[in-house]
Amino acid sequence: MFKKTGFITATIFIGYLFNQFNVPAGWLIGSLSTGIFYGLIVGKMTFRPVTFQFALSFIGANISLLLTLETLHKIYIYFIPLLIIVTLLILLGFYFSSLIIKNSKDINHITAFFCCIPGGASELIGLSQEYGADDRIVATFHSLRIIFLTFSIPITLAFLEPGYKTTQQAISDYPFEFKSLLFLLMIMILSVFLNRWIKIPGGNLLYSIALGFLFSQFIFEIPPAADFVKGIGQALIGGFVGVRFNREVLKRVIAIGPIAIIITIVLFFATFLCAGLFYLLTNLSFPISLISVVPAGAAEMSITAIAFGFDPTIVASLHIIRLIILFFSFPLLLKIFKKYFVKQSD
C-alpha cells in the first residue's frame, strides 16, 4: 500500500511539473512517462481493477459537467461517418491479424484476431481467454498500441495546434469548489456500482458521464471542476496505463518479433487517413477528428481533448459508440474473420 501510494503521488507530481513546463498534455505525458519508467526500471506494480474503474469514473464525471443538450443533439450527425471509420479499422484489424498468422508460428488465429480488433483493451483481454486465445499476447499487443498512441497523439497534436495553450476554452478558468469535489465522488461511486450491476463496454466512463449530466442538468447546479482537479484525473489514468508496460510486456514484445512494432506504427499512420476521411465527412476540425477516431482508450483520448481545450464530450461519446458497435458485432466479426481471412493467411 505504501508503494502504491508513493507511486500515485509521484505520477501526480510529475504530471504537474510537466504541465508547469508547458509540455503538451503535460499531466498525461508526465504521468504516463512515470508509469513506464516504474514498470521498466523499478518493477511490476498491479492495481485492483476497481482502482482503474474509479479513475475512469472520475474522468467521466468531469466530462459530464461540460456536456450540454446541444452537444447531445449533434452526436447523431456523426454516427454514419463513425460507422464508416469503424468498418475501415475493423478491415485493417483483419489484415493485421492475417499478417501475424503468416509471420508468427506461435500465435494462432484466435489470438491474432483478438490482438488486432480496435476495441476496448480490457473487454478484449477478458473475452480472449474465454475463446481460447493467449490473453498474455493479447494484453501485450493492446498495451503496446495504447501506450504508443497515448504518447504519440498528444505530441502530434502539439505540432498541429501550436497555439493550444492560448486557445483553451473558458471552462478551464473555473475555481475550486468543495461541492464540485463531493459531486465528483458521488458520481464515481454510483457509476462503479452501476457498472457492476449492468456491465457494458466502456461502462464506467459511460455511466459517469450519463449520471453526471442528468444530476448536474436537472437536480444540482455544479460548475465544471478546477484545472488541477481535471489534471489529477489525467495523471491517474496516465500512471495506471503507463505502469502496465513493464519488463514482462517488453520481453513478450521482443519475443513476438518486429511484427508487433510494425503493426503499431502502420496503425498510427492509418489513423491519420481515417481522421482525414472523418474530417471530410463531418464539420469537426482535423485535430478533434484525430482524437475521436484513433483506436486508443476512450478515457485517454478524452483527457487529451481536455488537455488541449477541445470539447471532450464529443470525443468521449464517439469512442463509447465505437466500443458499443464493436461489442455487439463481435460474434459476427469473428465469424467473418475465420471464413475469409484465416484461409487467405494459411
Predicted local confidence at residue 166, as pLDDT = 37
* Grid cell digits, residue 140: 501485450
Q: What pLDDT score was predicted for residue 300?
A: 85
Q: What is the pLDDT of residues 67-93, one digit of tens each?
A: 887 777 778 899 999 999 999 999 999
Q: In this predicted structure, what is the pLDDT of residue 164?
A: 52
Q: Identify the pLDDT of residue 177.
A: 65
What total number of domains does the chain contain?
1
CA angle 229, 234, 236 (to 5 degrees): 95
For the chain, residues with pLDDT lower than 70 are 161-177, 342-346
Backbone angles phi, psi at 202, to 5 degrees: 65, 25
The three state secondary structure string of 124-155 is HHHHHHHCCCCHHHHHHHHHHHHHHHHHHHHH
Task: Report pLDDT for 228.
Answer: 80
pLDDT score at 73: 78
Give the pLDDT confidence score for residue 88 in this predicted structure: 95
Contacts of 93 (CB under 8 A, 6+ apart): 116, 117, 118
Task: Give pLDDT, residue 171.
Answer: 41
Task: Write out pLDDT tens, residues 176-193.
Answer: 567 778 888 999 999 999
Domain membership of residue 272 as a residue range: 2-345
Of 174, 141, 139, 167, residue with least CA distance to 62 = 174
* CATH number, domain with residue 222: 1.20.1530
What is the structure's pLDDT at 114? 92
Q: How big, in percent rounded to 5, are the helix, strand and coil portions of the chain?
A: 80, 0, 20
How far is Cα of residue 100 from the mean position of the Cα atoms in its chain? 24
Q: 192-227: string of b/e by CB count within 10 Å (b at 16+)? A: bebbeeeeebbbbbbbbbbbbbebbeeeeebebbbb
